[in-house]
Amino acid sequence: MSRVLQNILMLFTCLFMIAGAAVVRYGTVAGIDAAAPTDTTVVSTSGDTTVINTTSLCKDVSGYAGATPLAVYITDGRIDSVETLPNVETPRFFERARKALIHKWDGLTVAEARALHVDGATGATYSSRSVIANMNAALDYAASSAVTSAGPVFEPTAGFFVALAVVLCGCIVPLFVHSHRYRVVQLIMNVVVLGFWTGSFINYTAMIGLVGRGVVGWGSLILILMLIAAFIYPVFGRSTHYCLWLCPFGSLQELLGMSRLPKIHLSAGVTQALEWVRRTLWAALMLALWVGGWFAWTDYELFTAFMLDSAVTGVIVAAIVVCVLSLFIHRPYCRFVCPTGTLFKIPKVNKL
């Protein structure tokens, strides 16, 4: 069997792994649910009060990890309150968006609320935009029951276009340009734009969410391009392209490693032992996803440290420790811990 064919088979193995985790978490793959869909509920609850449930109304609208349905209470044409319904967003990130948005429409008439422009960059951006899209759909439904979809929900920002440019450069330019200076520029842009500015990176939350809900509009474009670099490039011999050229946390480690401080060179035995620990950790975490449905660990991958306002304190502390180690050891997190990077190595069968 040719090496390329072996790599393709291993690529499908990766996809089945993520699909299995998506089924456990969402009960769906590519947005296809085995259960019958729940109709949008508009019910009278006490006198003139109606409740609009956006679960089915916005089934194709997604935050970072999944849908963010709302229950909107309207009395005599005015919005009494808005409640968030159960979802699978990262609790800490979603709570930030909820607090920033949930009371902005209280007391407004439906017409006033529809005319209100709410900043989608408020709070956790992905979740915020999803909440706003759900609210807009509910308001449209209230204004005219003939409206049954949220319409276009993707509003590209300057950050989106800059991040898209950085990702395209990282995907294409290294194939033709072999320059250390360019590499340093790309690494810096990865950290600044993909990391701190837009929070664009691949982790298990993003992968499972995309496989579970399917592609949702142009907002998924950056993630899809990154996934191509992570999974398709290795099939044709570029086994670590995403990790080396796009990952913001890997880029940060490498930039720190360029310091002139003395380096610690690990022996072959220590390196092999640490790589064994990485593979064992990855296997245990994947088993936890498939069998136990334990998804909490996906919220603690160190990539989220770039989201300083929302990241868990422990994640930020761990990221700082890794950054300090990176001054002396080449990419320590990438080489000896990263569960996401371990998954990316599977399509290149001799590199796991």
Per-residue pLDDT, 351:
52
pLDDT band at 238 (very low <50, low <70, confident <90, very high): confident
If asked whether residues 170 and 317 sit together in one domain, one would say: yes
DSSP 75-100: ETTEEEEEEEPP--S-HHHHHHHHHH
Residue 276's pLDDT is what?
Answer: 94
Query: Do 171 and 309 reside in the same domain of the chain?
Result: yes
Q: Collapsing DSSP states into helix, strand and coil, what is residue 176?
A: coil
The answer to whether 244 touches 257, Cβ cutoff 8 Å, is no
Rounded to an integer, the average pLDDT of 295-306 is: 87
Specify the pTM: 0.75
Q: Which of 90, 120, 143 is the last residue of a domain?
A: 143
Domain count, the chain: 2
pLDDT for 150 equals 44
Residues 170 and 112 in one domain: no
Q: What is the pLDDT of residue 157?
A: 82
pLDDT (average), residues 251-258? 98
Question: pLDDT digit string (tens) for 155-179?
Answer: 678 889 999 999 999 999 999 999 9
Alpha helices in 173-292 (DSSP H): 180-189, 204-213, 221-227, 233-235, 241-245, 248-257, 268-287
91 Cβ contact partners less than 8 Å away, ≥ 6 residues apart: 299
166 shares its domain with 125:
no
- Residue 339 to residue 345: CA distance in whole angstroms: 10
Q: Which residue has the tokens 């989106």?
A: 160
Judgement on whether residues 162 and 139 belong to the same structural domain of the protein: no
Do the beta carbons of residue 238 and residue 48 sit within 8 Å?
no
2 vs 58, more confident: 58
Q: Do the domain assignments include residue 119?
A: yes
Better pLDDT: 212 or 130: 130
Total residue length of the chain? 352
In which domain, by residue range, is 108 found? 54-143
The closest of 196, 179, 178 to 188, measured between CA atoms, is 196
241 with 120, same domain: the answer is no
Give strand ranges (E) for 191-241.
Answer: none
CA 55 to chain centre: 21
Between CA 95 and CA 76 the distance in angstroms is 29
The confidence score (pLDDT) of residue 273 equals 96
Q: Are residues 64 and 206 part of one domain?
A: no
Cα–Cα distance measured from residue 248 to residue 300, given in angstroms and rounded to the nearest whole number: 16
pLDDT beyond 60 at 41: no
* Tokens of residue 140, six digits: 């449209």
Do 271 and 220 share a structural domain? yes
> How confident is the model over 291-305, as a mean pLDDT?
82
- For residue 183, name the pLDDT band (cuts at 50, 70, 90): very high
162 and 115 part of one domain? no
312 and 175 co-located in one domain: yes
As separate numbers, helices (DSSP H) first and strands (DSSP E) second, the chain gives 15, 6
Q: Strand 70-75 relative to strand 49-53: parallel, antiparallel, unpaired? A: antiparallel
Quickly state the pLDDT bin for 149 (edges 50, 70, 90). very low
- Please report, as a single letter, which amino acid is at residue 333: Y
Q: Are 187 and 81 members of one domain?
A: no
Record the tokens describing residue 329, joined without a space.
């050891």
- Chain position carrying tokens 């734009």: 193
Tell whether 18 is covered by a domain.
Answer: no
Answer yes or no: are the C-beta atoms of 345 and 352 closer than 8 Å.
Answer: yes
DSSP state of 195: I
| Positive/negative CA dihedral, 76, 77, 83, 88 | positive
Within a domain: 86: yes
- Please report the pLDDT score of residue 339 as a whole number: 94
* Residue 226 and residue 261 in one domain: yes
Whether 237 is covered by a domain: the verdict is yes
Q: What Rg do the C-alpha atoms of the chain give, in angstroms?
A: 22
112 CB-contact burial (10 Å; exposed 0-12 / middle 13-18 / buried 19+): middle
Indicate the residue among 143, 174, 203 that finishes a domain.
143
Asked, for residue 22, whether it belongs to a domain, the answer is: no
Name the domain boundary from 143, 171, 186.
143
Asked, for residue 291, whether it belongs to a domain, the answer is yes
Q: Is residue 278 part of a domain?
A: yes
